[in-house]
Amino acid sequence: MNIENQQRNPVLLIHGIDDTEAVFHKMRPYLIQRGWSVYSLNLVPNNGDMGLDELAKQVADYVTATFAPEQRLDLIGFSMGGIVSRYYVQRLGGISRVQRFLTISSPHYGTVVAYASRRLSCLQMRPDSIFLKDLNSDAVILGQLDFTSIWTPYDLMIVPANSSQMPIGSQVIVPVTLHPWMLTDSRSLAVVTAALAKPIKLPLLKEKSSQ
């Protein structure tokens, strides 16, 4: 059996606030053309009215309904979608399903832009919010999978831009000038492809417990 094909998981794309799955109009065919099976869903509502934890339940439900229980997958979250995806991974059992996890311009430590709205998910994405502090308190769990944060220092939606950095996994800077271009710039697409093509991180074998 071809090991490379075994490691090419289906890819699930999670969009950001005020977006739909259509925001991946370039990334999705780009990945499909290169041999990946690509899936996405529309988070409802997408305007910030619903909390990120509740939106993450939609991701969990979609995974359960779409993939076989033994199927591992790779997860890509853009902007708010990266935080929704993190909640799924860290709180809703996604850690046992996801092998490669990429966030693209996600406000891991909040964005001051979120002060412009009092919608629930925006409150949760403010710097030093209780929600983000709690999620970051055990972010070390992301070290159990292949985690990559992709971001740009010129982002005007994620302020400060280095809020997209994480002390875990790999960091890749793509110096594009606009937030949405992170999904369409050829450099971003190349970085995403490279991250998805990395050999999976195999769990340590518990030899002593099995003897």
Share in percent of the chain as helix, strand, coil (round to 5): 45, 15, 40
For residue 177, what pLDDT band results from cuts at 50, 70 and 90?
Answer: very high
- Quick check: 5 pLDDT over 90? no
DSSP designation for 44: S
pLDDT tens-digit series, residues 120-152 = 999 999 999 999 999 999 999 999 999 999 999
pLDDT more than 70, % of the chain: 91
**Among 3-17, 54-68, 179-193, whose mean pLDDT is lowest?**
3-17
Please give the pLDDT value at position 203: 55
State the pTM of this model. Answer: 0.92
Q: Give me the mean pLDDT over the 1-17 stretch.
A: 75
Cβ atoms of 167 and 147 closer than 8 Å: no
Strands, DSSP E only, in the chain?
11-14, 38-40, 73-78, 98-104, 146-151, 170-173
Average pLDDT, rounded, for the chain: 92
pLDDT tens-digit series, residues 61-110 = 999 999 999 999 999 999 999 999 999 999 999 999 999 999 999 999 99
DSSP designation for 67: S
Cβ atoms of 138 and 90 closer than 8 Å: yes
Helices 80-91 and 52-66 meet at what angle, rounded to 10?
Answer: 70
Closest residue by Cα to residue 165 from 111, 207, 123, 93: 111
> What is the DSSP annotation of 1-20?
--HHHHH---EEEE--TT--
